[in-house]
């Protein structure tokens, strides 16, 4: 919405309204990606980077993450499959938290967005880590029922459970 205040309202829906995407972040190379998609025959209604993400996802599936240069937390919901994808940027510049109960899954870029709806029981392992390391290492948070999506990872969440996939790893990168 920052790049296109009139057309950047989220969520963005696919033409058939079966795929829904929201994001928090900024995609630095979205103009280049947009041009690639236009050259492939795609058209756009806005100048927003979030619309580019949706169209790129529809063209490439989850491998679209490899093309992104930026900081982001992305959620993609598949209506027909009742499947949710949560993806985080390579280094984790944009936070992405989630909490799953028996009946509900919450996700947000800030824990306070869903804290009123979940148990706020303190995670003693996280507190121990903080006292020893001076920070809480992900996926831990200060709360028992809240986790980070790890940097460079995406979650695939279905009724069967949560699967965690690493889509990017710093150790596999060459310095040159």
Give pLDDT, residue 7. 59
What is the model's pLDDT at position 165? Answer: 97
- Per-residue burial over 141-170, b = 16 or more CB atoms within 10 Å of its CB, e = otherwise: bebbbbbbbebbbbbbbeeeeeeeeeebee
> In tens digits, what is the pLDDT along the chain, a chain of 176 residues?
445 556 568 899 999 999 999 999 999 999 999 999 999 999 999 989 999 999 999 999 999 999 999 999 999 999 999 999 999 999 999 999 999 988 899 999 999 999 999 988 999 999 999 999 999 999 999 999 999 999 999 999 999 999 999 999 887 777 77
Dig out the tokens for 74 from the structure: 């992305």
Q: Report the alpha-carbon distance of residue 58 to residue 123 in Å, rounded.
A: 38
> How confident is the model at residue 111, as a pLDDT?
95
């Amino acid at each position: 919405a920052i790049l296109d205040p009139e057309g950047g309202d989220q969520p963005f829906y696919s033409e058939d309204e079966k795929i829904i995407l929201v994001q928090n972040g900024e995609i630095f190379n979205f103009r280049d990606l947009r041009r690639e998609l236009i050259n492939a025959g795609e058209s756009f209604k806005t100048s927003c980077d979030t619309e580019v993400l949706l169209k790129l996802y529809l063209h490439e599936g989850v491998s679209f993450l490899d093309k992104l240069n930026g900081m982001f937390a992305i959620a993609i919901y598949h209506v027909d499959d009742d499947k949710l994808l949560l993806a985080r940027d390579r280094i984790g510049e944009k936070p992405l938290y989630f909490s799953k109960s028996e009946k509900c899954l919450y996700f947000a870029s800030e824990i306070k967005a869903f804290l009123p709806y979940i148990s706020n029981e303190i995670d003693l392992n996280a507190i121990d880590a903080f006292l020893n390391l001076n920070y809480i290492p992900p996926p831990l948070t200060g709360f028992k029922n809240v986790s980070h999506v790890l940097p460079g990872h995406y979650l695939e969440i279905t009724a069967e459970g949560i699967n965690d996939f690493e889509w990017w790893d710093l150790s596999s990168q060459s310095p040159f």
